[in-house]
Structure 1
Amino acid sequence: MKYFMTDIHGDARGMKLLLEHAKIDFSRDQIVFGGDMIDRGKESAEVIRFIKSLVDTYSNNVHALIGNHEEMMADYYRYDDKTWIHNGGCETIDSFNYSFVDESNRLAYIEWAYSLPMIFEDDQYVYTHAGLNLHEPLNMQSRDILWMAESDFYSIPRDSLLALTNNKPIVHGHTPVEIIYFDEVRLNCDMGSNTNSVEGESGLGLVNLTEMCVYVYMQGQKKIEKRKIVQI
């Protein structure tokens, strides 16, 4: 099985419940975490600790990507850039200070998150946090793609994107959606965890790419729903 989870935003409880619900075997199944593990929620330290442990233990099957929130975090600690503080960083600072008492341990997790790749590719898909730049080779994409607006990404002609990826669809997140659509080229899997920017209740999604369905943890109701991915 192949799975994708993105934009967890500090919901360790929902993340673990979904992984258990799907009965993922990390020694056999593949899962890609699409970035924005942190911020907004209160459990960012546990999310990063858990995902790093999975990556370290199951390096062949578990992969993690950087998102724009991990980049903002690194910029705050490296350059004192306050952008992060105004985008959910305060909750992460509290979580890190509580969970990572040792400063060197805390900084090690921050450096790990910042050093994650922007793109992962397997035999079927290309995975990234927000989008791809059509005018850059796949292995030379700039960090601007971490911030790419969905409107810009979805304005790129389908054939042009497939030429860039060698006919592989792109699985991504970054922009919250209430329903996951697949246009045979792009699949946005951000269900709006810990945010009010989607219509209805916020949730965290675990996408089963093999069966083209998504398990959604409804954060307000604290329950899991199974939904089909809508192909258009």
Structure 2
Amino acid sequence: MHRKLVWLISGLLHRIHGGKARRAPAPTKPICVIGDVHGCIGLLEKLLSQVPHDAQIILVGDYIDRGEHSSEVLRMMQACPEFMCLMGNHEQMLLRFLADPKKHGRQWLRNGGLQTLASFRIPAARPEMTSEELTKCRDSLRRAMGDELVGWIADLKTSFHSGNIFVSHAGADPTCRLDQQSEHDLLWGNKHFQTKDRKDGQWVVHGHTIVSRAAVRGGRIAVDTGAFATGVLSAVYLDGSEPEFLTALG
């Protein structure tokens, strides 16, 4: 109760937005939003053990690439239908590679795709491959993943909305209604997101942009602490009172 009271008073005094006090971040039921996992399954398991039992678990995307255990993370997410798993730009890059390896393969490989291929035990993958090699690599990956997993990734939603909380991978266009956001802005970011506050009192929880520690700023709650590089995976628990941050250390 004390934590809630402090947060509400602080919000009234200090979180002025568009001439009005910004309401505390309040989903319709408690949620815990986890930042970019990037194949760090050990950190994910540690963090999940800290999540309050009343919280719906939401993940902001980027489950794959860069870390060493992308396949294990995907299988775990697929096996947990109670989780709300959102799509990140790395999942979109994977899907584009599967659809057209000659056109999109090199971009994906430059951004961590090699680690994902290794986690699925795809042999002979390397940073520079011919168009024929990319196609063979795609075919091997599709077989290793299986149609169900590929379909699960393709069906991932790009956002989650509850109360005055909006969750997406890369944030949102602050000048646009939340129900009119473009897929590009939700997955790759919007140039005004970090500098322009929303005027509708909504809080946007996001990953994608690495921060030194998870934090609240101007109606934005950032939870990507670069797990694959820093060994720190972060999350935020929201229940209508002051946001509570959780961390798992490698």
**Band of TM-score, shorter chain:** 0.7 to 0.9
Contact 2:44/2:233 (CA < 8 Å) preserved in 1?
yes
Question: In structure 1, what is the Cα distance between the partners aligned to 2:67 and 2:144?
Answer: 23
Match of 2:169 among 129, 142, 151: 129
Contact 1:39/1:87 (CA < 8 Å) preserved in 2?
yes
Alignment match, 1:175: 209
Match of 1:113 among 148, 153, 156: 153
Alignment match, 2:115: 91
Task: State the SS of the aligned residue for 1:94.
Answer: helix
Q: Which runs of 5+ in 1 are unaligned?
A: 196-200, 220-232
Q: Which runs of 5+ in 2 are unaligned?
A: 1-29, 123-139
Question: What TM-score, normalized to structure 1?
Answer: 0.77
Matched, 1:66 2:87: yes
In the superposition, relative to structure 1, how do residues 139 and 194 fare at CA in structure 2: closer, same or farther (>3 Å)? same
Alignment match, 2:243: 212
Question: In structure 2, what is the Cα distance between the partners aligned to 1:120 and 1:23?
Answer: 19
Question: In structure 1, what is the Cα distance between the partners aligned to 2:55 and 2:233?
Answer: 20
Which AA in structure 2 matches 1:205?
S
Contact 2:32/2:56 (CA < 8 Å) preserved in 1?
yes
Per-residue deviation at 1:104?
A: 7.1
Task: State the SS of the aligned residue for 2:170.
Answer: coil
Alignment match, 2:227: 193
Which AA in structure 1 matches 2:166?
V
Task: State the SS of the aligned residue for 2:38.
Answer: coil
Task: State the SS of the aligned residue for 2:73.
Answer: helix
Matched, 1:140 2:198: no
Alignment match, 1:51: 77
Structure showing greater relative contact order (alpha-carbon pairs closer than 8 Å, 6 or more residues apart): 2
Contact 2:63/2:73 (CA < 8 Å) preserved in 1?
yes
Which AA in structure 2 matches 1:75?
R
Matched, 1:15 2:44: yes
Question: In structure 1, what is the Cα distance between the partners aligned to 2:177 and 2:153?
Answer: 24
Aligned CA RMSD, in angstroms, stands at 2.3
1:12-59 CA-partner distances (Å, limit 9, x unpaired):
111011111x1543xx4211100001111111111111112212xx2x
Count of aligned pairs: 198
1:68-92 CA-partner distances (Å, limit 9, x unpaired):
0000010111111121111011111
Contact 1:175/1:190 (CA < 8 Å) preserved in 2?
yes
- Sequence identity of aligned pairs in percent? 28
Contact 2:55/2:237 (CA < 8 Å) preserved in 1?
no
Task: State the SS of the aligned residue for 2:192.
Answer: helix
Question: What TM-score, normalized to structure 2?
Answer: 0.72
1:173-222 CA-partner distances (Å, limit 9, x unpaired):
10111122212510111011112xxxxx4411122223522222222xxx
Whose radius of gyration is greater, 1 or 2? 2
Question: In structure 2, what is the Cα distance between the partners aligned to 1:75 and 1:23?
Answer: 33
* Greater alpha carbon shift after TM alignment, 111-120 vs 29-38: 111-120
In the superposition, relative to structure 1, how do residues 23 and 205 fare at CA in structure 2: closer, same or farther (>3 Å)? closer
Question: In structure 2, what is the Cα distance between the partners aligned to 1:138 and 1:86?
Answer: 32
Per-residue deviation at 1:148?
A: 1.1
Question: In structure 1, what is the Cα distance between the partners aligned to 2:52 and 2:232?
Answer: 20
Contact 1:32/1:63 (CA < 8 Å) preserved in 2?
yes
Which AA in structure 2 matches 1:49?
R
